[in-house]
Amino acid sequence: MSLFYQQKHGLTELSDAERAEMTALCKDYCDFITKAKIEREAVAESVQLAQAAGFVPYVSGMSLKAGDRIYYNNRGKGLMLAVIGTDPIDSGAAIVAAHIDAPRIDLKQNPLYESEELCLFKTHYYGGIKKYQWPAIPLELHGVVALKDGSVVTVSVGNQADDPIFTITDLLPHLGKDQMTKTMAEGVQGEALNVLIGSQPSDAEKDAVKANILSLLNESYGIEEEDFISAELCVVPAFPARDLGFDRSMIGGYGQDDRVCAYPALRAILECTAPRRTAVCILADKEEIGSEGVTGMKSKAFDRFMEDIAVSLGGTLRALFANSFCLSADVSAAFDPTYPEVTEKRNTARLNYGVCLCKYTGSRGKSGASDASAEVVAFVRRIFDEANVKWQMCELGKVDQGGGGTVAMYMAERNIDTIDAGVPVLSMHAPFETVAKFDVYMTYRAAKAVYHS
Ligand code: MN
Ligand code: MN
């Protein structure tokens, strides 16, 4: 037996049955992210799937027993699900946490304007984007407009075959001489991310194109210009997720960070019955802007959900957290042969090598903000190996090259043993991200392994 630690390409080791299961899972995943382009839609889709799998809405104070399947919808933007285990609740829960928000462009609160007989939306961006990647691609508009009477209008334009789409314009190369001398950070400015939405005038005397757009919006949604003040409207790429590569081994699509971990985690808990430890799945919002706000992972909404469960089963939140384990399921950067210089080859994630464990997350040139202990890493190695989960270990990039964090640190702060693990991604945070199907499949198996640990 060799003492060397040697990893192999995962696809060479799959049986036909496993390959079929992987393909089916990834097809469902593509459908999910094509429909769910923002966190609100991810919650709505997930709730439907949860109800079909026998989960019921949890109301504070509800009595609970082993085998119960519950979910809590946090303001339509975050979701928590649990399957109550047979062990005493004070012995801890098996938690998988992922996030369902993704980098995108949001409308400003006063977005609508006309300039030179074209109508546009002013925007600001949400999460870390490279601004130059967003002009000259097809875009959709998703979100809600909340009206003063308390009703909420849902907006989704661009997702259906005969819907119109939108775009952010860019300069033609012929006139881009000055632009092209700027750095990539400065070539497209934040205030240049204006979304083109119309060019047809009405018979109004002033701002006739804008007047026409407003009357169309009023017809479709019953809204007026002032209603944008209480709207959340998101501009996202207008393409479906689909197979990538001649061999169809990969998936390309928008918003895979972190729905590529959220969907496998969701599937794993929907398929979880009669666990020993209580199984919990958290689909959080706001990770891309620091996990702030009532629907982010820092929110007490999570503590309250967990405390309610603990109390209902005769335990305490303190004991529950202290004895729980959390897999913080978030993506990592995959090694890109076109840009090898930013990664350290021995400690980087590769496509098709399985779910990627990260001991040090949130680190920038130092040991991590949510450093999982050696003991926790050993525990995860054991449960993954026992469940035949193919995994790899990585750090995000070279030591001085930057870094990134996720929800892991907010779990660790709660006295929950946590490790970061997820799917390696190429072109992370771009409008079109790429993953390998094998790694999606292994992340699903990893979540299952946690729930049955
Ligand atoms: Mn992420
Ligand atoms: Mn991210």
* Domain housing 349: 10-102+254-451
In a domain, 398, yes or no: yes
58 and 170 in a common domain: no
User: Which residues are within 8 A (CB) of 39 and not within 5 positions of it... i.e. 6 or more apart?
Assistant: 77, 78, 100, 101, 285, 295
pLDDT, tens digit (0-9, with 9 covering 90-100), for 74-130:
999 999 999 999 999 999 999 999 999 999 999 999 999 999 999 999 999 999 999
405 and 276 in a common domain: yes
Q: 281 CA distance to ligand 1 centroid (A)?
A: 16
CA-based angle 377:383:387, to the nearest 5?
A: 140
In a domain, 200, yes or no: yes
221 and 280 in a common domain: no
Please say which residue of 237, 271, 300 terminates a domain.
237
Write the DSSP symbol of residue 400.
T
Q: 330 CA distance to ligand 1 centroid (A)?
A: 5
Reply yes or no on whether the pLDDT at 342 is more than 70. Answer: yes
128 and 224 in a common domain: yes
CA-based angle 7:387:251, to the nearest 5?
A: 65
The enclosing domain of 298 has a CATH number of 3.40.630.10
Ligand whose nearest atom lies closest to the CA of 284: 1
192 and 334 in a common domain: no
Range scoring the smallest mean pLDDT among 182-186, 253-257, 307-311, 339-343: 339-343
Q: Which two tokens stand for residue 420?
A: 């970061």
Mean pLDDT across 372-389: 94
Reply yes or no on whether the pLDDT at 46 is more than 50. Answer: yes
Range scoring the smallest mean pLDDT among 302-311, 364-373, 375-384: 364-373
In a domain, 56, yes or no: yes
286 and 189 in a common domain: no
In a domain, 5, yes or no: no
DSSP 355-398: EEEESS-S-SSSS-TT---HHHHHHHHHHHHHTT--EEE--SS-
Q: 257 CA distance to ligand 2 centroid (A)?
A: 5
Strand partners, 119: 114, 198
Write out the H or E segment, with its range, that includes residue 50: helix 39-52
pLDDT, tens digit (0-9, with 9 covering 90-100), for 205-253:
999 999 999 999 999 999 999 999 999 999 999 999 999 999 999 999 9
265 and 153 in a common domain: no
Q: What is the pTM of this model?
A: 0.96
Question: Between the CA of residue 269 and those of 168, 249, 264, what are the distances in Å?
Answer: 39, 25, 9
Label residue 366 by pLDDT band (50, 70, 90): very low
- Percentage of the chain lying above the pLDDT 70 cut: 96
In a domain, 247, yes or no: no
Q: How far apart are CA 318 and CA 256, in angstroms?
A: 34
85 and 115 in a common domain: no
Q: 429 CA distance to ligand 2 centroid (A)?
A: 6
Reply yes or no on whether the pLDDT at 369 is more than 60. Answer: no
In a domain, 1, yes or no: no
Q: Report the pLDDT value the prediction gives residue 344, as an integer from 0 to 100.
A: 86
Q: 258 CA distance to ligand 2 centroid (A)?
A: 7
Q: 396 CA distance to ligand 2 centroid (A)?
A: 12
Label residue 361 by pLDDT band (50, 70, 90): low
CA-based angle 275:58:328, to the nearest 5?
A: 55
145 and 93 in a common domain: no
pLDDT, tens digit (0-9, with 9 covering 90-100), for 403-427:
666 899 999 999 999 999 999 999 9
Q: 112 CA distance to ligand 1 centroid (A)?
A: 31
Ligand whose nearest atom lies closest to the CA of 259: 1
Q: What's the total number of domains in the chain?
A: 2
pLDDT, tens digit (0-9, with 9 covering 90-100), for 2-14:
788 888 899 998 9
Ligand whose nearest atom lies closest to the CA of 98: 1
The whole-chain average pLDDT of the chain stands at 94
285 and 208 in a common domain: no
Q: Report the pLDDT value the prediction gives residue 365, as an integer from 0 to 100.
A: 46
Please say which residue of 208, 237, 266 terminates a domain.
237
In a domain, 266, yes or no: yes
Reply yes or no on whether the pLDDT at 269 is more than 50. Answer: yes
Under 8 Å between Cβ of 328 and 421: yes
Mean pLDDT across 144-167: 96
Reply yes or no on whether the pLDDT at 38 is more than 50. Answer: yes
108 and 77 in a common domain: no
In a domain, 263, yes or no: yes
Please say which residue of 237, 268, 289 terminates a domain.
237
The enclosing domain of 203 has a CATH number of 2.30.250.10
Reply yes or no on whether the pLDDT at 29 is more than 90. Answer: yes
User: Which residues are within 8 A (CB) of 304 and not within 5 positions of it... i.e. 6 or more apart?
Assistant: 60
Q: How far apart are CA 102 and CA 286, in angstroms?
A: 8
337 and 373 in a common domain: yes
